[in-house]
Structures are given as C-alpha cells and as structure tokens.
C-alpha cells in the first residue's frame, strides 16, 4: 500500500530518496511543498523533475482535508464541515471581529468526555486527527479569511471538536508545522489550546516548555458542581488541576486562562463567584466569562443580565480581571459548545 507522504518526517523522505538514487537535498524541497506551500498535489511540485514526481506518485498518496459545506452567520462567522480523507466529518469555524480573524479548529472526530453543556460531548469519539488534518483546517480557514475578508488569519484556537490533550502528540506536531518558519510561520503566542482539564498532560506541557497559550474549561470552582457537568473532574480534581496549572506557569511563564460558562441558577451566584475568586488567587491565571449557548436536550439555561452583572461585580471588587466573551455564530450552531455535525452533512466537496 502507498504511504501517506505527510506522515513521514524529513529523515524518512531522505531515506526514500536515497533508495531511488535521488539527491537528499530534494527532501527540503518536498517538505517545503508540503508544509510551507501547503501543496495537496504531487504533480504541482514544479521544481522537482518529472521522474521524481512520478516516483513519488508511485509510492505515496497526498491526502487532504476538504470543505464539504460551509454556512455563513449573520455576524459573518463561517462554520465549515471538513471532510477527512476517510469521509469522517469535523467542524471548524472562522470567527471575525474588529481586531482579529480567528480559526477555531478540531482535534478529534467526536469526543469522549461527555461534558453536559457541550453538543460535541454527545457524540462518540471515533478517532484522533492526524497532525496534517489539523494543519489542513488552518490552511482552509486561512484561505477563507483572505477570500471573504481580504485579511490574514491572526489567531488559532484549539476549541473545536474533541479534547486536544487526549491527542497530545498530533496536536503538538500540528502546532510545530503551523509555527515553523518552514511551515505557516505563525507565532505560537497567537495559538491557544483549550482543555477540559487533564492535570498530568497540563504538567507535561510545562515539561515540554510549550510557547502557545493554554485555556482551561473550568465552569465551576467547586468539585461537586464540576463533577456534575464535567465527569473528567472525578479523576482530575480542582486540587490536582491547581498543582498542574502552577507547575505549567513555573515552567513556561504563561498564565492559564480559565473559561467559565455561566449557567442560570447553577454556577452564577455570589457563592460561585467567591469560589472562583479563591481558585484564581491560588493559581497563576486570568478569566474569560462566556455566555451559555443552548444545545438540543441540554439541562441548562443562559443566565440573566442581572445575575451576570452581580457575578462580574464580585470578581472585579476582589481584584480578579475577567472579560466577558460574547458568542458568535449562534444562528448557525457555530458558537462555543454547539459543534456537533447537527445537520449530518453529506460530504460534497465544493470546488
């Protein structure tokens, strides 16, 4: 069977070139086509000889992610159904604001964490995405940013379908390709990886001295409440998370951002705010408050403006800097927690 050429590193490509009597320096040209020029067709590698291109075609495939369908929101957000080479589908979103264009991308087909407020959590996890499948989402959304908004992609968030830290190797490899001067050349400071909270993997990020930002989906600073909405907390308690967050900061110098969705009459009271203040003071962190986006069959409601204002006032009066993050793309189910292939899109590649 032919190998997927994008699953090979440069050393392996050199070995192949040597085996067919080609010069090893051609490996750099091939890698540039794959990761810097984002080429998806071996015949397009024009500075390689026809003979070499034919040898590559005989031995390798160059699979690529495609856009099966996209929807554009009233607020200009674009949600994409990405068709993977095996015809599985994941979703990704282009989020435009006045100051930035952000790609929200997926790391798994489905998810295994069953968070109660998230539509993706109702799906089964079928598999991890390969690094190139994550990279391709960025490339395709980058092209959309340029085509629809005549501007460069400015930020990337790993906040789509799946838990990135359960696909650790491929997520970090994709970031390496996206940030490398020999890849897309984006700054790691413009990338945020979001996790539901796997303490040992957060510590591993610290050991690996990553340069990107880390967000933790907190949503309650109380173990009982967090256990109820996020079963992963039963094996990753707030105490364990506190230790790993502080270890991550000690190793990287980067503060973790807590993502906190406010649910009406569940985690939006003053007592909840007090618990969040205490947890923030015990960790090197900052806070994003997120409005809840209802999902089919969900048990929660969006909080009221009055309760949200009181919650924010308590944080502010206790010296906790928190920003309210307004959701975008709600009318096309593209907002935080809504990605679930709701329309069961049939793969149909748009040229």
And the tokens for 81?
A: 């159904």
**Distance between CA 308 and CA 189 in Å, rounded?**
30
Among the listed residues 118, 271, 336, 351, the single catalytic one is 336
Strands 78-83 and 66-72: antiparallel
Residue 124 to residue 16: CA distance in whole angstroms: 38
Helix (H) or strand (E) segment spanning residue 127: strand 127-128
CB 42 within 8 A of CB 53: yes
Return the number of other C-beta atoms located less than 10 Å from residue 203's C-beta. Answer: 18
**Pick the catalytic residue: 58, 69, 91, 259?**
91
Separation CA 248–CA 284 (nearest Å): 9
CB 171 within 8 A of CB 193: yes
| Cα 222 to the center of its chain, rounded Å | 26
| Tokens found for residue 3 | 């190998």
User: Strand 66-72 relative to strand 60-61: parallel, antiparallel, unpaired?
Assistant: unpaired
Is 118 known to be catalytic? no
Known catalytic membership, residue 111: no
> What are the catalytic residues?
91, 336
């Amino acid at each position: 069977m032919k190998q997927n050429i994008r699953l090979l590193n440069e050393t392996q490509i050199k070995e192949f070139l040597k085996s067919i009597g080609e010069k090893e320096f051609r490996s750099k040209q091939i890698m540039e086509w794959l990761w810097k020029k984002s080429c998806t067709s071996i015949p397009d590698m024009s500075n390689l000889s026809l003979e070499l291109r034919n040898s590559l075609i005989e031995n390798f495939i160059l699979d690529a992610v495609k856009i099966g369908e996209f929807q554009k929101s009233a607020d200009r957000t674009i949600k994409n159904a990405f068709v993977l080479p095996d015809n599985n589908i994941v979703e990704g979103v282009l989020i435009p604001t006045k100051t930035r264009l952000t790609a929200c991308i997926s790391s798994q087909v489905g998810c295994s964490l069953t968070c109660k407020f998230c539509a993706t959590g109702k799906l089964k996890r079928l598999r991890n995405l390969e690094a190139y499948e994550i990279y391709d989402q960025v490339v395709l959304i980058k092209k959309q940013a340029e085509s629809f908004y005549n501007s460069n992609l400015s930020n990337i968030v790993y906040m789509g379908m799946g838990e990135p830290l359960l696909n650790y190797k491929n997520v970090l490899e994709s970031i390496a390709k996206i940030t490398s001067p020999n890849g897309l050349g984006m700054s790691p400071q413009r990338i945020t990886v979001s996790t539901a909270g796997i303490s040992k993997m957060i510590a591993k990020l610290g050991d690996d001295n990553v340069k990107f930002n880390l967000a933790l989906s907190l949503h309650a600073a109380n173990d009982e409440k967090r256990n109820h909405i996020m079963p992963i907390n039963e094996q990753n308690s707030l105490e364990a998370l506190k230790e790993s967050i502080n270890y991550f900061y000690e190793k990287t110098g980067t503060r973790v951002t807590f993502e906190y969705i406010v649910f009406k009459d569940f985690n939006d009271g003053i007592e909840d705010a007090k618990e969040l203040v205490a947890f923030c003071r015990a960790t090197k962190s900052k806070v994003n408050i997120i409005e809840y986006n209802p999902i089919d069959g969900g048990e929660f409601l969006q909080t009221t403006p009055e309760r949200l204002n009181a919650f924010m006032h308590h944080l502010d009066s206790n010296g906790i800097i928190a920003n309210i993050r307004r959701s975008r793309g709600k009318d096309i189910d593209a907002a935080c927690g809504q990605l679930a292939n709701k329309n069961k899109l049939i793969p149909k590649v748009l040229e």
